[in-house]
Amino acid sequence: MSQAPLLSVENLAFERDDSCLFSGVNFSVDPGDVLQIEGANGSGKTTLLRMLTGSLQPSAGNISYLGQALSACRYDYLSDMLYIGHQPAVKLNLSAEENLRWMVATSAQSNDVSVKDALTQVGLAGYTDLPCYALSAGQHRRVALARLLISEARLWYLDEPFTSIDKQGVAFLQSCLQQHVAKGGAVILSTHQDLSLTGLRRYKLVSDVEAIA
């Protein structure tokens, strides 16, 4: 096994319009880790996650994947990563099944769990053919989360995955995360929930704006 961590972040900072949102963020993630990003509203949790996906450029600092800078291994890194953002990326005019099929077709690695099975597991068995505008917010989130069951990516970035999900859903998602880290995956998520997962670590994001005040 290589010495370099799966993902490591050094001295990451983000500035916008001359004001610094956060700086000096350091952590590393190995297979089997769950890292919970904590912080007040507006402290930059979503920004940090989007930075990890490569869609935002950090103002300073480095992100490296298996010891390599992201720019040097962009394809491998993005193939090994799954990001579910604040917006579930669910098209209201398509059915749950069509949405998931499209998401799977555009993602790099997938296992042999079928789309129908995944939707059944997340509790949408009777809803697969309905257009998504007929479903609730929590059900939209479940459609997006069904991707987790099909994905073979090792790094999962989940931005507030528990939003509008009921208690059973929260329990299911936690067991899903637990299975993922047991298989050698890693999860970085932002949430305000108290999680009971083995391998859980917390990282408190302190906004610079807050620190000055």
Residues at the contact surface with other proteins, assessed by CB under 8 A:
50, 53-57, 74-76, 78-79, 81, 83, 85-94, 98, 102-103, 105-112, 131, 152, 154, 184
Query: Which residues are bridge partners to 204 per DSSP?
Result: 38
Q: At closest approach, how far in Å is the CB of 89 from other proteins?
A: 4
Closer to other proteins by CB, 79 or 120: give it.
Answer: 79
Residue 61 Cα to chain centre, angstroms = 21
Q: At closest approach, how far in Å is the CB of 98 from other proteins?
A: 6
Question: How crowded is the C-beta side of 14, counted as CA atoms within 13 Å?
Answer: 25
Q: At closest approach, how far in Å is the CB of 176 from other proteins?
A: 17
Closer to other proteins by CB, 105 or 213: give it.
Answer: 105
Closer to other proteins by CB, 182 or 211: give it.
Answer: 182
Residue 170 Cα to chain centre, angstroms = 15
Closer to other proteins by CB, 169 or 185: give it.
Answer: 185
DSSP 115-180: HHHHHHHTT-GGGTTSBGGGS-HHHHHHHHHHHHHHB--SEEEEESTTTT--HHHHHHHHHHHHHH
- 134 burial class (0-12, 13-18, 19+ CB within 10 angstroms)? exposed
Residues 94 and 184: their CA atoms lie apart, in Å, by 34
Q: At closest approach, how far in Å is the CB of 13 from other proteins?
A: 15
Closer to other proteins by CB, 35 or 90: give it.
Answer: 90
Q: At closest approach, how far in Å is the CB of 115 from other proteins?
A: 13
